[in-house]
A and B are shown apart, each in its own frame.
Chain A
Amino acid sequence: MTASTDPATKEPFERVVQAHGDVVWKVCRGLLPQHDAEDAWSETFLAAMRAWDRFDGDRVRGWLVTIAHRKALDVLRAGARVETREDGPPDRAVEPPGRDLDLWAALARLPAAQRAAVVHHHLAGLPHADVAALTGSTPAAVRKAASDGVRRLRALMTEEPR
């Protein structure tokens, strides 16, 4: 590969936003309450745009999800939020009731490791090994956390009042 500073091979950043805005939103929203997720989303793309001329990998989605994961951690630390206390009034005011709210609300009730595994593996589509690298875990542990998380999610969602 040639020098990473060569801008001639880079696609316009707007194309990155168009291609990956949705998956980054699902990651942010899967890890954070509505309003914090909005902040994390824009901070993710702002940070990515800042580094875009230096990024020389070919796995843009994984790179963005990594940034989003860190931004989500920053937000959680800054707010010192208790994860099970999310999805308060702002969510219900903005999003219509139904399956949409149910998934995010149910995700918020998972233990942190299961939540991260489900979000990064099932919502972002990362392989277990990549999720493990991201969360400082092992592929086997991520596989189990994702599997347990999905089972728990389904139980939570069927118990959820409609």
Chain B
Amino acid sequence: MTGAELAVPRETLFEFLCRMGDNTLVLGHRLSEWCGHAPVLEEDIAIANTALDLIGQTQMWLGLAGTIEGKARDADALAMRRDVWDFRNILLVEQPNGDFGQTLMRQCLFDHWHLLLLQALEHSSDARIAEIAAKSVKEVTYHAERSSELVVSLGDGTEESRARMQAALTLLWPYVAEMFETDAHDTTLSEAGIAPTPESLRAPYMDAMTALLTAATLSPPDTRTGQTGGRSGKRHSEHLGHMLTTMQWLQRAYPDARW
């Protein structure tokens, strides 16, 4: 594909695809950290399956990112050979797992936003993006169902489970603001009909979360400031670097290693 055929600058499209793929990659890896450690076997399997879906989606997003970039980097190269400052995921997904409740709350906050975003991307003017979104939306609908059910059961549960879910919500809510941060890339993509502006997802997201959190008897904290800097790459939390040292260890120690 030549530059003349792109509806938006190559850098903008690449940035967008990295944002999509890095969210699913980082959250997918975080979830895989639970493998073998979840409270019960069924939840262990559920978390690992969700991780698998997200890693599969990562291959599609970062694969397309590599094609658009045109520098012979495939999905593996983008996932394993970039350092913290090149990652474009939102800060929420790189936050540590904490307890099971914290992992589920992070998942639920992410799933509802992810679902709204993918539903909009199904109508993208870029057919390749619309195809990946249409594939992913089916999996993510299922993720959102599961995390919502569990957040409601545990929130509206025992004194102990409710306290843990409220603590998780209080800790993670400030990271929600970044989902709606809209920059020049987003405006360009929106004007070309490729992606919605993040800001446009705020109202439907807040409606969905208000209903869900009410059912779960939980209240978001009264936070005026949000934690941002992940999707712009300006300021990741220290957690991402630690995660990458584990995730990328093999490719860093043995570049080009193959099975």
User: Do A and B originate from a single complex?
Assistant: no
